[in-house]
Amino acid sequence: MAERCDVAIVGAGPGASIAAYLLAKGGLEVIMFERGDYPGSKAMFGGVLYTTVLSKFFPDFPGAGCVERHVIEKRFSMLSESNELALSFKFLDFEPPYYNHSFTALRAVFDRYLARKAEEAGAVLITQTVVDEAIVSDGRVVGVRARREGGEVLANVVIAADGANSLIAQSAGLRGELPLSVILGVKEVVSLPREVIEDRFSLEGDEGAAYEYLGGGAVRGAMGAGFLYTNRDTISVGYGIPLGALKALGVQPDELLNEFKMHPVVRRLLRGTTPEEYSAHLIPEMTPHDLPRFVGDGIVVIGGAAGLVNANPLFHEGTNMAMASGVMAAETILQAHKAGNFSAKALEPYASRLRESFAWQDYDRYQGLTRMAETHPQFFSKYPYEFTRLARKLFSVAPTDDGMQVPKRTLELAVADHVLAELGLMSLGLDLLDVAKAAMF
């Protein structure tokens, strides 16, 4: 006879665990499935965690050892073949407990922390178990089918929290095939003594740094970005690139990562490191047209499975959106449980709340910036190289024939000539205007 529970959750990431925690605290029987040996063992993200939602329920998390460093420096760079043009923000006046900004984290550590909270509240965690599909009866999801003894687990509601390529949402008829705009994230964690990290990045104590590298020399001029984040005694280094762009490059993901690591700017930051782990993961960068339906009869879709990622060139967010969606899903299911109604109509308040939240509003707002990046490949393939050349030309000290120095005015005119000849003043102006429109509207 099939096992039965109130809610079956597929996945044990941040959104799933915080939903399980709230549902279990509300008195429901919750089973959460994780395909890895433990929560986070199969998960991957760049490494920066925004904690406003987390701190609402677990204000003591900074002292629990589940995060690495609080980020005091955010650096955006464009790379050419060997040079860097960067804009850096550094804030030294953040004060504990740092809820108003971000932390670096490792999913293998953070996910286990949050899953333990769910278990302490009464949720049952089942690891090393793959869930292949939702069980659908008369058009309604009534449970899940897992690769384990007993196989079927029946539930009043199933939460699909199984990531970008959600088999649960697909088997329930809530989404189609993934588009090529989906991003492949590739990451390596390398170790370095804590004191060396702090000296190299000008950090003290638990301070951290997050470096973003846009296009250019980061990913062979393709649409995409590299990153480097400091942890306690490791560094997370990697990149994200749309599947379509990776296909066009015709290069293997690990080869592209090695190229990025060997860039002269990045190599100096990684010298003396030892590789510890390698991972790759799909990031659900999708247009609203490609997103799954968020609710169905007996099912809700959260986090990455719902496409809730803000992966535009300026902001890389996902775990906070996943946790927010998990909270809203849990609160909606608790209300549905009181009413004894788990239809799509009864679960629709989750979708409505989601669209009114920061998670959807930020996703929706920055879609324009992401789409603009797709239609303006020059921001990745041309401008990083040309802008660094312009900066190098402007700040060079050039000699004259008689051994004196070229006046700055001459250098400024040379830069202006370069802009006109290589970039085109009108083209550059129109491109920058498109960026401003996409960012503002």
Nearest to 161 by CA among 382, 11, 334: 11
Q: E strand or H helix at 191, and its extent? A: strand 183-191
Residue 222 scores a pLDDT above 60 = yes
Q: E strand or H helix at 125, and its extent? A: strand 124-126
At residue 35 the predicted structure's pLDDT band, cuts being 50, 70 and 90, is: very high
Instruction: Write out pLDDT tens, residues 49-79.
Output: 999 999 999 999 988 999 999 999 999 999 9
At residue 440 the predicted structure's pLDDT band, cuts being 50, 70 and 90, is: low
Quick one: what percent of the chain has pLDDT higher than 90? Answer: 63
CB atoms within 10 A of CB 347: 23
At residue 148 the predicted structure's pLDDT band, cuts being 50, 70 and 90, is: confident
At residue 1 the predicted structure's pLDDT band, cuts being 50, 70 and 90, is: low
Residue 438 scores a pLDDT above 70 = no
**What's the whole-number mean pLDDT along residues 403-409?**
83
Show Cβ contacts of residue 410 under 8 Å, excluding neighbours closer than 6 positions. 398
DSSP annotation string for 123-190: -EEE-S--EEEEEEETTEEEEEEESSTT-EEEEEEEEE-S-TT-HHHHHTTS--PPPTTSEEEEEEEE
Nearest to 209 by CA among 48, 56, 99, 344: 48
At residue 105 the predicted structure's pLDDT band, cuts being 50, 70 and 90, is: very high
Residue tagged 């677990």 (tokens):
58
Helices (H), 131-231: 167-171, 194-200
391 versus 198: the higher-pLDDT residue is 198
Ranges assigned E (strand) in 243-342: 274-283, 295-296, 299-301
Q: What are the boundaries of each domain within the chain?
A: 3-67+105-177+288-356, 183-283, 374-440
Identify the pLDDT of residue 439: 63
> What is the CATH code of the structural domain delimited by 183-283?
3.30.9.90
**What's the whole-number mean pLDDT along residues 351-359?**
94
pTM of the shown model: 0.91
DSSP annotation string for 220-235: TTSS-EEEEEE-SSEE
Residue tagged 């984040």 (tokens):
229
At residue 43 the predicted structure's pLDDT band, cuts being 50, 70 and 90, is: confident
Identify the pLDDT of residue 419: 78
Counts for the chain of helices (H) and strands (E), in that order: 15, 17
Identify the pLDDT of residue 260: 97
The CATH number corresponding to 3-67+105-177+288-356 among 2.130.10.10, 3.30.1490.20, 3.50.50.60, 3.40.50.620 equals 3.50.50.60
Specify the pairing of strand 299-301 against strand 152-160.
Answer: parallel
Instruction: Answer whether the bond into residue 97 is a cis peptide, omega within 30°.
Output: yes
What is the separation of C-alpha 304 from the centre of its chain, rounded to a whole number of angstroms? Answer: 9
Quick one: what percent of the chain has pLDDT higher than 70? Answer: 97
At residue 295 the predicted structure's pLDDT band, cuts being 50, 70 and 90, is: very high
